[in-house]
Structure 1
Amino acid sequence: MSWRHHEHSRRAALATATGLIAGAAAPAAFAARAAASSGNAAIAAPTATAAQYTNPVIWQDFADIDIIRVGNAYYYSASTMHYSPGAPILRSYDLVNWEFAGHSVPVLDFGPAYDLGGSRAYVKGVWASSLAYRPSNRTFYWLGCVEFSTSYIYTAPSVEGPWNRLTTINNAYYDAGLLIDSDDTMYVSYGNTTISVAQLTADGRGQVRAQRVFTTPSSVGTLEGSRFYKINGNYYIFLTRPANGQYILKSTSGPFGPYTMRQVLLDLRGPVPGGGVPHQGGLVQTPGGAWYYMAFVDAYPGGRIPVLAPVTWTSDGWPVVQLVNGAWGASYPSPAAVPAPPLRAAPLTGVDTFDGTTLKPTWEWNHNPDNTKWSVNNGLTLRTATVTNDLYGARNTLTHRIQGPTSTATVQLDYSAMRDGDRAGLALLRDSSAWIGVKRDGGATRVAMVSGLTMDGNWNTTGTGKELASAAVQGGRIWLRATADIRPGAGRPGTFSYSTDGTRFTRLGPSFTMGNDWRFFMGYRYAIFNHATQALGGSVDVSQFELTTP
């Protein structure tokens, strides 16, 4: 099994009793959305008109999709690898407009590497995992396998939390899909090429039995990324061929098979110019009986972004993706919104003033933070947590997904409490990075643009950056800005600028070309950082973060 196969697909899933499990096989006719949500009006993808949606439905990095419906809401879980908290959950009321709801994995307590305490967990952590809802106890379940070894189950009464670890199981449910059957029995489908099914105990804390149910033919190659469904009495395991195909297994004889296989798509032209083939997603049914397939396309440097297509079913119970001119459509008729009252998703762009005393779920740390070194109290305070000249080894770097196809992030920073040797700013963060920020040295302060931060294929630092431009600043407050063009196949430029009054911005340094190698998997992020190079004790305050699109 290749490393790309292990890493490149992850998604496991299931449909809930109110979503997939009890639905009719025949799809309903397309219906116009009852009320167009204006929650994402500032976002550069989804809604074209009240009757159409456009792909991608979200132009942000949310890979290894598991999607379910519970009552009047859809929920979408994704991979996060080394970012903390892990396994974000998005919520929608129409499958098109999405908002952040929470995270299933509050902290990556899988070992010291996840704390950046001398070792690192880049490209490890939360891969393809599964989200399910159990009606019998009104509980959400998240299941995932970490580092090809241990499987973890977390539960919560709502997607907002609190999420708590239910158990660990010493079986590697790789790329797991969790099914809660109509009789309340819990099953897991998992594996790479060899696909197995496990039955869990009634309380979900252990395994009753496990059995290999399918071996992928050599003519197909690798299949993984399980999603497990029961639809009209048949059992289905939805599988990806990374990174260009989707297949499905069907059993009419129970969860342990036997299963037969059918190709769903292969080398299908996707809707994102320069992007890859839609694959590794999940199926979901609307309240009106229509079915949809949410997949992702590789779209680096931005990451893997979700696209949505309607699905119909053959008379003998196989799903068929509805195409437009032989391709995954750039637009389709909008799904009907869930029943009244109409609810709207909060926008994924806009201003965060860090109001209140907690971070919003749009934010994820690079590895686990040192919680003694940051706080939110109507503003974000970052105290230096690491003495290092390597941003990749600095704790408490706070990240935000980039909105595509192009967007701009602006932070307002109070640097008056920085100390000599401190570095604070705004980065375009990935395995090749650049940043704009404030440097305090010898009592003097300057704003600098730094590029050349690099990692090798084992995620060890090979370059800590070189200052390419700078200017003296004073007064204690500065606005830092980064603009990113993450269209795949284009020039991939990132640019930086600053302002001392929040109105007039000055470009600083040359354009930075963002990398598009898939092996880091996660796309570029905007990242706010503050670290020391001499001694701890300094701090910065961030009063505002704004994400805008043209």
Structure 2
Amino acid sequence: MSWLEQEHSRRGALVTATGLIAGAALPDTATAHAAMSAPVAGAAVAPAASMAPAAGPYTNPVVWQDFADIDIIRVGDVYYCSASTMHYSPGAPVLRSYDLVNWEIAGHSVPVLDFGSKYDLNGGRGYVRGIWASSLAYRPGNRTFYWLGQIDFARTYLYTAAAVEGPWNRLTTIGTAYYDAGLLVDTDDTLYVAYGNTTISVAQLSADGRTQVRTQQVFSTPSSIGTLEGARFYKINGNYYIFLTRPANGQYILRSTSGPFGPYTLRQVLLDLGGPVPGGGVPHQGGLVQTQGGAWYYMAFVDAYPGGRVPALAPIVWTSDGWPVVQLVNGVWGASYPSPVVPPPPRQVTPMTGVDTFDGTALKPRWEWNHNPDNGKWSVGGGLTLRTATVTDDLYWARNTLTHRVQGPTSTATIQLDCAGMRDGDRAGLALLRDASAWIGVQRDGGVSRVVTVAGLTMDGNWNTTGTGYETAGAAFSGGRLWLRATADIRPGAPRPGTFFYSTDGVNFTRLGPAFTMGNSWQFFMGYRFALFNYATQALGGSVGVARFELSTP
């Protein structure tokens, strides 16, 4: 019998007998970054009425969109996860789940990248800067969520909110750059930060979280291992653990039985482990979380370019002497596992695919701008209006480019574009956006509008533009409304195609131009995104409307 079959059988028996999986007693506060003092193994099982049977098995990745450098916590019976966003604004999305498998985007911890004018595409650009690996925690003492991250390797920012939907407000700026930090809320509400690259340190913050009161190096990575970073900080069963990644193929953990400042001992969790996504990398750089019933899980990301880094989930068990072990299927991180047991009733999340008509007064959390937008040049309500905000011939310099993650393994984005308000020199449409990009859209010149495909938008390794694009196909059209479509194949392991289509009636679509080859290099970190844009090459004043955006999968 395979491990998966055994686990199904074991869980079925336990659910019948007790209503949940055997494991640690339910913590008083259920956040993985708050202290968890219940026993790791051999603990009492909660009453049968407290849990419902698990659903069928889940498949990895649990989210096939680009969410990397995961930090995961539980508060009560709700799970939250934070991720990197680099130069996209708002930054640091917070995902929410009720079962660890189905996730929605609830909000963003960093409302605006107010870290300098380059994040406004003003005098500079912030590509591959901004929000790197950061940390999300919950402090029971004041019922507050905390987000902590360093920006530009210069200083650390701490934001707080009463709810993940916001509003999030900056609490403090700390002069020390806590690189790849993990924030721990101890049982007495003290805030600690584990951070560093190769040399790992722990800092203690003041009671109000605004200043550092102590910092100390606690570990130096042996040269035989190489680099360790991506700290996540936990207190479990009275011991302190710092979870560290070896990019991009390993995971290690430090343990201290003597307090947050050590001394620490090291153990390998995984190295060069086969992953659950064909063509993808080794799951790494994520976090540990405990369910309401005491079961443990590790959620990590898998390098899966051209789509980015996608979250995968696996169960964890603990050795009798207090070390975590990833449960494998046939020697690798499983493509499928039994679903976690959750309390009733089942709760639904907002799908990450579907239709957006841009109703209401704000963008939905699925959207992020390429750098900060000019808020005077866009609006929602009965559709999205994008007024030209930049005069440029380079999409990478164009403000108010609105992005949406690509859904894997393949997906299609379709927009309804009202281009009657465009002016001569304007360019508007739908892009596949990364360091090598292409788009389909409308260009208006000399009073004539054409639908075109453009490729050859490129950057170098310092993220400077090396190509502003060239037309690969075009067609004349009349009227002020057009439907544009882009399909993206983001299965990892090889460069993949993106294709473009247009329609004048929203029903019959015509392919335009050759397939665009999406690169699968990792250096840009973020994966391809669908992007809505409107910029001017001559003068400001034009506008377009997007009445509808639909993201669909086969």
Structure 2-normalised TM-score?
0.92
Contact residue 16 and residue 132 of structure 1 kept, 8 A: no
Percentage of identical aligned residues: 79
Instruction: Find the partner of 1:265 among 252, 266, 270.
Output: 270
Is 1:111 the counterpart of 2:116 in the alignment?
A: yes
Instruction: Find the partner of 1:191 among 183, 193, 196.
Output: 196
Following superposition, the deviation at residue 341 of structure 1 comes to: 3.1
Query: Deviation per CA, 1:301-341, whole angstroms, max 9, x where unpaired?
Result: 0000010000000001000000011100010000012x233
Instruction: Find the partner of 1:340 among 341, 344, 354.
Output: 344
Q: Which residue of 2 aligns with 1:40?
A: none
Q: Which residue of 2 aligns with 1:433?
A: 437
Following superposition, the deviation at residue 537 of structure 1 comes to: 0.1
Q: Which residue of 1 aligns with 2:240?
A: 235
Is 1:220 the counterpart of 2:232 in the alignment?
A: no
Contact residue 35 and residue 342 of structure 1 kept, 8 A: no
Instruction: Find the partner of 1:539 among 543, 548, 554.
Output: 543
Is 1:402 the counterpart of 2:411 in the alignment?
A: no
Following superposition, the deviation at residue 24 of structure 1 comes to: 3.1
Partners of 1:540 and 1:19 lie apart in 2 by 45
Following superposition, the deviation at residue 35 of structure 1 comes to: 7.4
Partners of 2:322 and 2:386 lie apart in 1 by 55
Partners of 1:353 and 1:148 lie apart in 2 by 39
Instruction: Find the partner of 1:167 among 161, 168, 172.
Output: 172
Q: Which residue of 1 aligns with 2:393?
A: 389
Instruction: Find the partner of 1:417 among 398, 418, 421.
Output: 421
Partners of 2:29 and 2:186 lie apart in 1 by 8
Q: Which residue of 2 aligns with 1:125?
A: 130
Q: Rate the CA distance shift 1:517–1:152 in 2: closer, same or farther, 3 A.
A: same
Q: Rate the CA distance shift 1:378–1:270 in 2: closer, same or farther, 3 A.
A: same
Contact residue 77 and residue 131 of structure 1 kept, 8 A: yes
Contact residue 31 and residue 138 of structure 2 kept, 8 A: no
Query: Deviation per CA, 1:154-207, whole angstroms, max 9, x where unpaired?
Result: 000000000000000000100000000001100000000000000000000000
Q: Is the partner of 2:376 in helix, strand or coil?
A: coil
Q: Which residue of 2 aligns with 1:25?
A: 40
Aligned AA (1:103): H
Q: Which residue of 2 aligns with 1:53?
A: 58
Q: Which runs of 5+ in 1 are unaligned?
A: 1-14, 37-49
Larger Rg: 2
Partners of 2:246 and 2:347 lie apart in 1 by 36
Query: Deviation per CA, 1:402-443, whole angstroms, max 9, x where unpaired?
Result: 000000000001000000000000000000000000001000
Q: Which residue of 2 aligns with 1:12?
A: none
Is 1:472 the counterpart of 2:512 in the alignment?
A: no
Partners of 1:490 and 1:242 lie apart in 2 by 20
In the TM superposition, what are the counterparts of 1:93-112 in structure 2 within 5 Å? 93-112=98-117
Partners of 2:335 and 2:158 lie apart in 1 by 36
Query: Deviation per CA, 1:86-105, whole angstroms, max 9, x where unpaired?
Result: 00000000000000100000
Partners of 1:447 and 1:304 lie apart in 2 by 33
Partners of 1:466 and 1:384 lie apart in 2 by 21
Q: Is the partner of 2:30 in helix, strand or coil?
A: helix
Contact residue 148 and residue 183 of structure 2 kept, 8 A: yes
Q: Which residue of 1 aligns with 2:11?
A: none
Is 1:290 the counterpart of 2:305 in the alignment?
A: no
Following superposition, the deviation at residue 490 of structure 1 comes to: 4.1
Following superposition, the deviation at residue 27 of structure 1 comes to: 7.9
Q: Rate the CA distance shift 1:137–1:469 in 2: closer, same or farther, 3 A.
A: same
Aligned AA (2:63): I
Q: Is the partner of 2:128 in helix, strand or coil?
A: coil
Contact residue 295 and residue 306 of structure 1 kept, 8 A: yes
Contact residue 24 and residue 289 of structure 1 kept, 8 A: no
Contact residue 145 and residue 173 of structure 1 kept, 8 A: yes
Is 1:370 the counterpart of 2:337 in the alignment?
A: no
Is 1:499 the counterpart of 2:503 in the alignment?
A: yes
Contact residue 27 and residue 291 of structure 1 kept, 8 A: no
Query: Deviation per CA, 1:245-268, whole angstroms, max 9, x where unpaired?
Result: 000000000000000000000000
Is 1:513 the counterpart of 2:497 in the alignment?
A: no
Contact residue 306 and residue 495 of structure 2 kept, 8 A: no
Following superposition, the deviation at residue 17 of structure 1 comes to: 4.1
Instruction: Find the partner of 2:333 among 328, 353, 374.
Output: 328
Q: Which residue of 2 aligns with 1:448?
A: 452
Q: Which residue of 2 aligns with 1:484?
A: 488
Partners of 1:527 and 1:443 lie apart in 2 by 25
Aligned AA (1:410): T
Query: Deviation per CA, 1:138-164, whole angstroms, max 9, x where unpaired?
Result: 100000001111000000000000000
Aligned AA (2:41): A
Q: Is the partner of 2:508 in helix, strand or coil?
A: coil
Following superposition, the deviation at residue 72 of structure 1 comes to: 1.6
Is 1:63 the counterpart of 2:68 in the alignment?
A: yes
Following superposition, the deviation at residue 475 of structure 1 comes to: 1.1
Q: Which residue of 2 aligns with 1:274?
A: 279
Contact residue 155 and residue 163 of structure 1 kept, 8 A: yes
Aligned residues: 521
Partners of 1:201 and 1:119 lie apart in 2 by 35
Q: Which residue of 1 aligns with 2:24?
A: none
Partners of 2:434 and 2:348 lie apart in 1 by 32
Partners of 2:42 and 2:364 lie apart in 1 by 37
Structure 1-normalised TM-score?
0.93
Instruction: Find the partner of 1:87 among 86, 92, 99.
Output: 92
Q: Is the partner of 1:518 in helix, strand or coil?
A: coil
Q: Rate the CA distance shift 1:320–1:16 in 2: closer, same or farther, 3 A.
A: farther
Is 1:461 the counterpart of 2:474 in the alignment?
A: no
Query: Deviation per CA, 1:329-375, whole angstroms, max 9, x where unpaired?
Result: 010000012x2332111111000000111000000000000000001
Q: Rate the CA distance shift 1:370–1:27 in 2: closer, same or farther, 3 A.
A: farther
Partners of 1:459 and 1:27 lie apart in 2 by 53
Contact residue 86 and residue 107 of structure 1 kept, 8 A: yes
Contact residue 55 and residue 330 of structure 1 kept, 8 A: yes
Q: Which residue of 1 aligns with 2:259?
A: 254
Q: Is the partner of 2:347 in helix, strand or coil?
A: coil
Q: Rate the CA distance shift 1:143–1:16 in 2: closer, same or farther, 3 A.
A: farther
Instruction: Find the partner of 1:72 among 70, 73, 77.
Output: 77
Aligned AA (1:424): A
> RMSD of the TM alignment (CA)?
1.5
Q: Which residue of 2 aligns with 1:316?
A: 321
